[in-house]
Amino acid sequence: AQSVTQLGSHVSVSEGALVLLRCNYSSSVPPYLFWYVQYPNQGLQLLLKYTSAATLVKGINGFEAEFKKSETSFHLTKPSAHMSDAAEYFCAVTLPWGLTGGGNKLTFGTGTQLKVEL
């Protein structure tokens, strides 16, 4: 079955610094990958997704992620952190419809809490 591992349950950066949140996936076939953000006491909001088109994916709020098959990674980056980026971030994986174990279920990582300091 497919899975994702998020390295680092807590990441702290200074405002204006690079944000790098790590996600590695495990899948027997090329997966679809997603990043979601959750602000306090809210549901999850889609940041960006990789669905086998361009490997560099741009999302909302200045975030982007690059799919690297050789490294089985889908790390989330933002060049310059802002205080408003403080939230919890989740990486998720699924398989294209019709493949074994796919359907439409997303499997989520355990999340990374991003703290942005002045």
Binding site for another protein (CB under 8 A): 9, 32, 34, 36, 41-46, 49, 51, 90, 92, 94-97, 102-111
CA distances from 111 to 72, 75, 90 (A): 18, 13, 5
- Rounded to a whole number of angstroms, the minimum distance from the CB of residue 116 to another protein is 20
79/102 Cα distance (integer angstroms): 33
- Rounded to a whole number of angstroms, the minimum distance from the CB of residue 108 to another protein is 4
Chain-centre distance for alpha carbon 7: 11
Q: By C-beta, is 70 or 104 nearer to another protein?
A: 104
Q: By C-beta, is 17 or 38 nearer to another protein?
A: 38
- φ and ψ at residue 43, rounded to 5 degrees: -75, -175
Map residue 104 onto helix, strand or coil: coil
- Rounded to a whole number of angstroms, the minimum distance from the CB of residue 111 to another protein is 5
